Structure 1
Amino acid sequence: MAKTRTQFVCQNCGTVYSRWAGKCDACGEWNTIVEEGTSGGIGGGPAKSSRKGRVVALTSLSGSIEDAPRIKSGIAELDRVTGGGFVRGSALLVGGDPGIGKSTLLTQAAAALARQGCHVIYVSGEEAVAQIRLRAQRLGAANTTVELAAETNVEDILATLTNAKKPDLVIIDSIQTLWSEAVDSSPGTVTQVRTGAQAMIRFAKKTGAAVVLVGHVTKDGQIAGPRVVEHMVDAVLYFEGEGGHQYRILRTVKNRFGPTDEIGVFEMSDHGLREVNNPSELFLGERNSNAPGAAVFAGMEGTRPILVEIQALVAPTSLGTPRRAVVGWDSNRLSMILAVLEAHCGVRFGQHDVYLNVAGGYRISEPAADLAVAAALVSSLAGITLPQNYVFFGEVSLSGAVRAVSHSGQRLKEAEKLGFKGAILPSGTSETIKSPSFRQRSFGDLPELVAAIASGKRRASPPTQN
């Protein structure tokens, strides 16, 4: 009888060790290395066999692609993020915090596809069938032909899917609950997650059904399990949102069949998720344009322009080391902007606390927000209100120069459509709009912008209390 070989696998990053250790050298986490058995089967290593390999059919790259159209859910924001709908034979991974709305979104998508005549199977490893029906009733999706199953064994799920009518879409909620008899590990371990993912991806490629895998998220915001699962699937989507806000953002991180960095915006309500067709109005709601320290940034998410307010508060500090607090932006980027303002513009923040917030809980990742952040910081420090109904965008270099960014034409058109009167942009911008009612003022470096803000009208100080 062959001896079962064991290995030690880090449950955080998937690194394999020959012996146990308290700390993983790859990711630096403690007490994450667990002993797991290795064997053949689904997801296991190649076993010795006398079977000869079969000849695989080859085809030309120039073949037609019309025989595999996308499956459009009818939910415009979801179809936007996936690149136009689910691709047949593809595997998609959806991650997000617990309770963020992953199951709600997929239940609504399954019901929408079923109403179009698609065969959809929803397999849950976390809820009973009765619980799924209760959620479907609340979402108004109960009277559909979506087929439900509550199962966690990989072999049983594959047998059920094979014997059933060929599905158009299969939803597995979640990948961390699956376990295979071919693996000697507990459900949720790296080996079991990898094994379950490989089995479902193989089913998708073989049958042409689109498979959606739901993934848990760790405390760092990453999908739990080995990162190799993200490399195995065709698309990775993250469902984001803040606990104090009702909006949700579905963000594309990877997509082999469409653009990345695309977002879909939803609003959570008692009856499920509602699409937000104009996210800029959501992020600009209840804006006070007369307050210092507020600048509207014209950003881009994939192919969609987004306008969001950046708020800065610079206040004198009584601490030896001033505080730097950031919500919705990169803290390292804020430190760079503060250093450039001090070195090239003579603006001193050493005796002030700096607080920066992106309104609505939105998160900005592109460097085009540098100019808006710098303007908001100077405005708050000087107590001067920025020009009303103006948007800002531009990248700031370490030399203090303001560099042009891409898609400037789309940013300007979105600002004009929402009623803004002008824009502050880099002088090297090539794409502008011609409109007599929309002013566009350009700056070549940051000192010019600081001087222009300093020449503005200072807000009157609030009355003192006697």
Structure 2
Amino acid sequence: MPKAQPRFFCQSCGAESPKWAGQCAACGEWNTLTEAPSEPPSAGRRAGSRAGGYAGTTALQQLNEVKQDAMARVPTGLSELDRVLGGGLVAGSVNLLGGDPGIGKSTLLLQLLCAIHAIQPSIYVTGEESLSQVSMRAGRLGAGDTALPLLADTQVEAILDQAQRLKPKLMVIDSIQTMWTDSLDSAPGSVSQVRESAARLVRFAKQTGTTVFLVGHVTKEGAIGGPRVLEHMVDTVLYFESDQGSRYRLIRAVKNRFGAVNELGIFAMTETGLKPVSNPSAIFLTRDAQPVPGSTVLVTREGTRPLLVECQALVDSSHLGNPRRVAVGLDGQRLAMLLAVLHRHCGIAMADQDVFVNIVGGVRVTETAADLAVLLAALSSFRDRPVPHDWVIFGEVGLSGEIRPVPGGEDRIREAAKHGFKRAIVPAANRPRAGGAGGIEVVAVKRLSEVLDTL
């Protein structure tokens, strides 16, 4: 048998090196390379190589001859989780769920298993808690009497042996950073252990049709710990988000091979677990009874769902040499650009003013449809004149002062009409067809100067 040649992997970025070095050539971090022995080539692979070909090569098939099998989905019983997953669980899919400590990852997945175990044989594998701790959490969720198989283990081979005997349809691994395999000598949580453990679990899911959920730790920067290849290996990557002290949890899909990307699910944390929020716009629109300066309502779009959120702005005289531009829930660089557009094309200067903008409720708006609402909120605070309570605003602002269209204009307008808004200021290209406004008065504008004339 040929001797296994050692390989070295970076603990920070996962890059591979043929020999040890003090600094990783890929990311520049120091003392992050660890050794992982490589497996010797198999006899079949060596024989195929000597013969000039590869053993086990599958037959080629034309694209137009491949059958498109409809994917059967199993509802989870949690409507917001079904929305993020694209309609439910897919057999053989591997889903990675990441989030800050204590945000509710284990709670959500335990709720899922307890609710679906009666129709889908399931198993919960914990590598961080004891079985008594899991039982106590289930008791708080009101599911302590569920006959759900539990396993407290971190060795991948032992876990897969148990799974082969139980033959579950759904398996949760909490968490992937605690798993380790006999084939590697590195410590659990290292880049090589995380990658190899995830690869074996993915292989098991695809071969047996088991739906697997992997819980992932996050770093200080908010990314899932371990090698970046971990997110490439799985089918779905979900992130839990929440403001500190808020009872609402946002779960966002940043990768989904079976559904829409950037879909958003909203839960409320209660004493009995996470509860889906079916009408999130009503939560984020808790406003003062009377109109106040610096407040506007915009219609953003998260995946396929239009969402009404309040944008607040505070403009005040600055006593600093460089006035501050602070944006919470928005891109700060874009805020500075929008204020420059307002000065250049409308003659309204805020160069000596501190400008603070906040999206209420902890929602982060990444699309450009919020441009017009942000500008009008800042102008409302600067002039101390409120925007009417029953107005809703959306649209992208260009550098030349034009109002550009945004995707899903009619859906946004109908969502605003459903919540009782009377007037919508929208880009001219998003003017709805006849009967598509839902009874709301639509003011279509082409330039920023027209918006100010309307106000």
TM-score (norm 2): 0.92
TM-score (norm 1): 0.90
Structure 1 residues 387 and 203: alpha-carbon distance in aligned structure 2, compared to 1, 3 A threshold: same
Distance in 1 between residues matched to 2:84 and 2:151, nearest whole Å? 27
Structure 1 residues 207 and 81: alpha-carbon distance in aligned structure 2, compared to 1, 3 A threshold: same
Q: Which range moved further: 177-186 or 10-19?
A: 10-19
Alignment-derived partner of residue 150 in structure 2? 148
Alignment-derived partner of residue 21 in structure 1? 22
CA drift at 1:330: 1.1
SS of the residue corresponding to residue 429 of structure 2 reads coil
> Retained in 2: the 8 A contact 1:312–1:377?
yes
Distance in 1 between residues matched to 2:248 and 2:334, nearest whole Å? 26
CA drift at 1:46: 4.9
Unmatched 5+ residue regions in structure 2? Answer: 49-54
Distance in 1 between residues matched to 2:226 and 2:110, nearest whole Å? 24
Structure 1 residues 381 and 105: alpha-carbon distance in aligned structure 2, compared to 1, 3 A threshold: same
Structure 1 residues 281 and 25: alpha-carbon distance in aligned structure 2, compared to 1, 3 A threshold: farther
> Retained in 2: the 8 A contact 1:426–1:442?
yes
CA drift at 1:278: 0.2
SS of the residue corresponding to residue 171 of structure 1 reads strand
> Retained in 2: the 8 A contact 1:107–1:141?
no
> Retained in 1: the 8 A contact 2:92–2:210?
yes
Paired residue for 2:131, among 129, 132, 135? 129
> Retained in 1: the 8 A contact 2:157–2:181?
yes
> Retained in 1: the 8 A contact 2:9–2:36?
no
SS of the residue corresponding to residue 117 of structure 2 reads helix
Instruction: Tell me if 1:34 matches 2:33.
Output: yes
Q: Residues 340-359 of structure 1 correspond to what in structure 2 (within 5 A)?
A: 340-359=341-360
Distance in 1 between residues matched to 2:378 and 2:32, nearest whole Å? 45
Distance in 2 between residues matched to 1:354 and 1:86, nearest whole Å? 45
Structure 1 residues 27 and 367: alpha-carbon distance in aligned structure 2, compared to 1, 3 A threshold: farther
Instruction: Tell me if 1:389 matches 2:390.
Output: yes
The amino acid across from 1:248 in the alignment is: R
Instruction: Tell me if 1:326 matches 2:336.
Output: no
Q: Deviations 1:205-238 (Å, cap 9, x if unpaired)?
A: 1001111111111111111111111111111111
Structure 1 residues 11 and 426: alpha-carbon distance in aligned structure 2, compared to 1, 3 A threshold: same
SS of the residue corresponding to residue 98 of structure 2 reads strand
Distance in 2 between residues matched to 1:261 and 1:95, nearest whole Å? 15
Structure 1 residues 147 and 314: alpha-carbon distance in aligned structure 2, compared to 1, 3 A threshold: same
Paired residue for 2:67, among 38, 59, 63? 63
CA drift at 1:448: 2.3
Distance in 2 between residues matched to 1:251 and 1:19, nearest whole Å? 38
- The root-mean-square deviation of aligned C-alpha atoms, in Å, is 2.2
Q: Residues 177-192 of structure 1 correspond to what in structure 2 (within 5 A)?
A: 177-192=178-193
Q: Deviations 1:66-117 (Å, cap 9, x if unpaired)?
A: 5x521211111111110111110111111111111011110111111113x2
Q: Residues 110-121 of structure 1 correspond to what in structure 2 (within 5 A)?
A: 110-115=113-118, 117-121=119-123
Distance in 1 between residues matched to 2:438 and 2:140, nearest whole Å? 50
SS of the residue corresponding to residue 193 of structure 1 reads helix
Q: Which range moved further: 3-12 or 235-244?
A: 3-12
Structure 1 residues 32 and 257: alpha-carbon distance in aligned structure 2, compared to 1, 3 A threshold: farther
Distance in 2 between residues matched to 1:76 and 1:156, nearest whole Å? 34
Instruction: Tell me if 1:85 matches 2:88.
Output: yes
Alignment-derived partner of residue 10 in structure 1? 10
Distance in 1 between residues matched to 2:68 and 2:213, nearest whole Å? 25
Instruction: Tell me if 1:100 matches 2:99.
Output: no
Unmatched 5+ residue regions in structure 1? Answer: 454-466
Q: Deviations 1:422-459 (Å, cap 9, x if unpaired)?
A: 11111121435556852111211112223444xxxxxx
Structure 1 residues 317 and 145: alpha-carbon distance in aligned structure 2, compared to 1, 3 A threshold: same
Q: Deviations 1:257-287 (Å, cap 9, x if unpaired)?
A: 1111111110001111011000001111244
Structure 1 residues 408 and 64: alpha-carbon distance in aligned structure 2, compared to 1, 3 A threshold: closer
The amino acid across from 1:37 in the alignment is: A
